[in-house]
Amino acid sequence: MYRLAPLALAFAMAPAFGADCSTTIDSNDAMRFDRDLIEISAQCEQFTLTLTHSGSLPVAAMGHNWVLAEESDIPAVAADAVAAGASAGYLAADDERVIAHTRMLGGGETDSVTFDVALLDADGEYGFFCSFPGHSALMRGRVVLVD
Ligand code: ZN
């Protein structure tokens, strides 16, 4: 029992130090994110999402952003984003349904966004998508709050 004690202590402490409050997701010229699930620890006060675009096409042809919203809001947010047009970065200005978003990227670019985890409700259903016209059908995923 004596020899197990340090290991047990390490496990007990793991959650406090184990919460990773940032992550990176990549997008590409094939109109894909490299992940369809992002888990956010409820222990994080803030979470930072970094979007990379590993392709080479310009933003006008293959733009990608990362937009976080409630699942039920995403179809309308995506439609309004297309209507907002290229000059608005394909996202309606001050859309209150948008919880967080990066800017629209072209190939080789990177952007990060940091947001308060308290904006996410444990019972809520959240998703992320790219709001470039025609992309949200393929470029979609879930965001889940975990302990
Ligand atoms: Zn896109």
More confident call, 29 vs 14: 29
Strands ordered across the beta sheet of 98-101: 37-41, 140-146, 126-129, 67-70, 98-101
36 C-alpha to center of ligand 1: Å? 14
Closest CA to 66 of 83, 78, 56: 78
Res 18: pLDDT? 63
The structure's pTM equals 0.87
The confidence band for 16, taking pLDDT boundaries of 50, 70 and 90, is very low
Closest CA to 99 of 112, 117, 75, 86: 117
Q: How, if at all, do strands 46-53 and 126-129 pair?
A: unpaired
pLDDT in tens, 113-142: 999 999 999 899 999 999 999 999 999 999
d(CA 18, CA 134): 37
17 C-alpha to center of ligand 1: Å? 34
119 C-alpha to center of ligand 1: Å? 24
CB 129 within 8 A of CB 74: yes
139 C-alpha to center of ligand 1: Å? 7
Burial code of 3-21, b = ≥16 C-beta within 10 A, e = fewer? eeeeeeeeeeeeeeeebee
Res 7: pLDDT? 52
135 C-alpha to center of ligand 1: Å? 5
d(CA 70, CA 29): 26
Res 19: pLDDT? 80
pLDDT in tens, 86-114: 999 999 999 999 999 999 999 999 999 99
SS3 4: helix
27 C-alpha to center of ligand 1: Å? 8
CB 114 within 8 A of CB 11: no
